[in-house]
């Protein structure tokens, strides 16, 4: 693309017709259309809706800075209200709501990665108060936990221990294995500080069992963070309620609203049962930010809940979505992704050349070319990608390549899912 654009900015401003013409002819052809294409089945597709896009536009136009309450009161207060709405919609325990009597509440972060870094820092500072050295601290994840957790430990200079999972246990982290790792590290003079459980892993949508994991962590006073970046949205559906049992016992919970909740990137809702450890870790009040409202303790200053100072008016787009669609409309959208995945899985199961690799979970289907080795799995994946008619990616489960199809775009239909299957089936038989 660089060859098609000038090497320096224009001296005199150009007209919109010229700018938009270059956008259409030079920029758009080089994009991967995460949102615009209904044949995008890779990663976990973001789901933007027109009310949220309008909210994003108004956020940019209003251009307020909501780092503390006095900087823009309605920006802070709408965030508190909207995150309480979302928490209720997801059936979260009251302890995570800003309107509750306790010290908990929600805050919008840019991503699940930022959220993990914030809570793991809080967990570390909490242990440092007990005279523990940062270099001896350990955070526990599974081999299915998203890389954001390990990256957070790298940033913070904390050890990360990976607990292995197995296909026999559906790639869920087992509490007994976690406990064994914790006790071994304690015996070796290390200081366990936190565990990251996942509800809806990226590779297979596995759900770590929260009740036994929280029980293990409670014995050693570990912070339990739930990465529900993708799977958290499904807590709104009664059929999946049991997968979230144990939230009453965890310390923090994060869901990406830019995945299944009809908001464009970036907006991650982080809920904490107790805000105090985060405030202890991140509060810094220079003279130029001091004001009577903050010092009274009667208002919320979100600058102390996050890494940067500045913050955008992100709650506006979520507020627009929840008002325009209502909880009924949001549930319909979340359920539709599950229905499309079930439809695709049915097509795979009826195809004698394909096999489901792990039980279908939420809106994700993982499958393989039946009876074939890794080289053939890669050949099939490459052939499908080369066609350009559907975008899918792979992962590895138990050391074997599987192809992932993540369903459920805003306007995705059964016809789109069937089209994806037809490309896979056709290419398989072509290269067979």
Which of 256, 287, 312 terminates a domain? The answer is 312
- Render pLDDT for 371-399 as a digit per residue (tens, 0 to 9): 999 999 999 999 999 998 999 999 999 99
Sheet containing strand 393-397, edge to edge, reads 354-356, 364-369, 400-406, 393-397
- Using alpha carbons, list the distances in angstroms from residue 363 to 49, 138, 419: 19, 33, 17
Are residues 103 and 155 located together in one domain of the fold?
yes
Are residues 163 and 138 located together in one domain of the fold?
yes
Are residues 130 and 243 located together in one domain of the fold?
yes
Which CATH number fits the domain that encloses residue 337? 3.90.1150.10
DSSP letter string over 288-327?
GG--HHHHHT-S--GGGGSSSS----THHHHHHHHHHHHH
Q: What is the 3-state secondary structure (H, E, C) of 262-289?
A: CCCCCCEEEEECCCHHHHHHHCCCCHHH
Are residues 96 and 194 located together in one domain of the fold?
yes
Residue 135 lies inside a defined structural domain of this protein: yes
- Render pLDDT for 28-58 as a digit per residue (tens, 0 to 9): 988 888 787 888 899 898 888 999 999 999 9
Residue 341 lies inside a defined structural domain of this protein: yes
What's the structural domain count of the chain? 2
Spatial separation of the C-alpha atoms in residues 300 and 68, rounded to whole Å: 7
Spatial separation of the C-alpha atoms in residues 133 and 141, rounded to whole Å: 20
Are residues 152 and 300 located together in one domain of the fold?
yes
Is the pTM value of this prediction over 0.95?
no
Burial of 352 (0-12, 13-18, 19+ CB in 10 A): exposed
Spatial separation of the C-alpha atoms in residues 252 and 229, rounded to whole Å: 12
Burial of 142 (0-12, 13-18, 19+ CB in 10 A): buried
Among 210, 266, 268, 263, residue whose Cα is nearest residue 241: 210
Spatial separation of the C-alpha atoms in residues 409 and 44, rounded to whole Å: 9
> How many CA atoms are closer than 13 Å to the CA of 63, on its beta-carbon side?
1
> Mapping DSSP to helix (H, G, I), strand (E, B) and coil, where does residue 110 land?
coil
Backbone torsion region of residue 234, taken as left when φ is above 0, otherwise alpha when ψ lies between -120 and 50, otherwise beta = alpha
Q: Containing H/E element for 49?
A: none
Are residues 363 and 219 located together in one domain of the fold?
no
Are residues 172 and 267 located together in one domain of the fold?
yes
Residue 317 lies inside a defined structural domain of this protein: no
Beta carbons of 105 and 98 less than 8 angstroms apart: yes
Residue 125 lies inside a defined structural domain of this protein: yes
Series of mean pLDDT values for 10-residue runs along the chain (432 residues): 85 93 90 83 88 94 87 91 97 93 93 95 87 87 96 95 94 97 96 97 95 97 97 96 96 96 94 94 81 76 84 94 96 95 97 95 95 96 94 94 92 94 95 87
Residue 366 lies inside a defined structural domain of this protein: yes
Are residues 217 and 188 located together in one domain of the fold?
yes
Spatial separation of the C-alpha atoms in residues 203 and 145, rounded to whole Å: 9
- End-to-end distance of the chain based on CA atoms, in angstroms? 36
Are residues 281 and 420 located together in one domain of the fold?
no
The range of the structural domain enclosing residue 285 comes to 65-312
Residue 9 lies inside a defined structural domain of this protein: no
Are residues 305 and 376 located together in one domain of the fold?
no
Burial of 208 (0-12, 13-18, 19+ CB in 10 A): buried
Which of 312, 338, 370 terminates a domain? The answer is 312
Mean pLDDT value across the chain: 92
Are residues 301 and 361 located together in one domain of the fold?
no
Which of 289, 312, 335 terminates a domain? The answer is 312
Are residues 268 and 336 located together in one domain of the fold?
no
Spatial separation of the C-alpha atoms in residues 337 and 206, rounded to whole Å: 17
DSSP letter string over 206-257?
-B--HHHHHHHHHHTT-EEEEE-TTGGGGGGSGGGGGGGTTGGG-SEEEEET
Among 229, 226, 104, 94, residue whose Cα is nearest residue 173: 226
Q: How many CB atoms lie within 10 A of CB 72?
A: 17
Q: How many CB atoms lie within 10 A of CB 350?
A: 9
pLDDT at position 130, please?
65
Q: Which residue has the tokens 């994991």?
A: 213
Which CATH number fits the domain that encloses residue 220? 3.40.640.10
Residue 28 lies inside a defined structural domain of this protein: no
pLDDT at position 131, please?
64
Token pair listed for 39 = 């044949």
Residue 355 lies inside a defined structural domain of this protein: yes
pLDDT at position 7, please?
87
């Amino acid at each position: 693309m660089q060859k098609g654009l000038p090497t320096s900015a224009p001296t005199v401003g150009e007209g919109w017709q010229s700018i938009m013409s270059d956008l259409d002819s030079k920029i758009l052809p080089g994009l991967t259309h995460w949102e615009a294409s209904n044949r995008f089945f890779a990663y976990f597709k973001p789901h933007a809706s027109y009310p949220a896009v309008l909210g994003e536009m108004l956020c940019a136009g209003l251009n307020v800075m909501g780092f503390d309450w006095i900087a823009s009161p309605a920006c802070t207060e709408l965030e508190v209200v909207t995150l309480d709405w979302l928490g209720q919609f997801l059936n979260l325990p009251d302890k995570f709501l800003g309107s509750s009597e306790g010290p908990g509440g929600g805050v919008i972060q840019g991503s699940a990665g930022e959220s993990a870094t914030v809570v793991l820092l809080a967990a570390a500072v909490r242990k440092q108060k007990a005279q523990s050295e940062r270099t001896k601290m350990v955070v526990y994840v599974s081999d299915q936990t998203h890389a954001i957790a390990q990256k957070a430990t790298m940033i913070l200079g904390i050890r990360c221990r990976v607990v292995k999972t197995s296909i026999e246990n559906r790639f869920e982290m087992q509490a007994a294995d976690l406990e064994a790792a914790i006790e071994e590290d304690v015996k070796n003079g290390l200081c366990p500080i936190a565990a990251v459980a996942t509800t809806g892993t990226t590779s297979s949508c596995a759900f770590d069992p929260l009740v036994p994991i929280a029980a293990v962590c409670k014995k050693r006073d570990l912070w339990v963070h739930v990465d529900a970046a993708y799977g958290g949205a499904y807590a709104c559906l009664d059929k999946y309620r049991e997968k979230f049992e144990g939230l009453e016992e965890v310390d923090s919970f994060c869901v990406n609203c830019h995945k299944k909740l009809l908001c464009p990137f970036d907006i991650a809702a982080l809920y904490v049962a107790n805000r105090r450890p985060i405030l202890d870790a991140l509060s810094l009040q220079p003279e130029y930010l001091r004001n009577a409202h903050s010092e009274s303790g009667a208002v919320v200053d979100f600058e102390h809940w996050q890494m940067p100072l500045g913050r955008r008016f992100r709650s506006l787009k979520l507020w627009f979505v929840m008002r325009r669609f209502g909880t009924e409309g949001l549930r319909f959208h979340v359920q539709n992704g599950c229905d499309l995945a079930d439809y695709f899985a049915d097509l795979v199961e009826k195809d004698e050349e394909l096999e489901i690799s792990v039980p279908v979970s939420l809106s994700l289907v993982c499958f393989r070319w039946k009876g074939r080795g890794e080289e053939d799995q890669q050949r099939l994946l490459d052939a499908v990608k080369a066609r350009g008619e559907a975008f899918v990616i792979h992962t590895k489960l138990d050391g074997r390549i599987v192809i992932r199809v993540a369903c459920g775009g805003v306007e995705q239909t059964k016809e789109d899912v069937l089209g994806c299957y037809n490309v896979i089936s056709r290419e398989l038989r072509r290269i067979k």
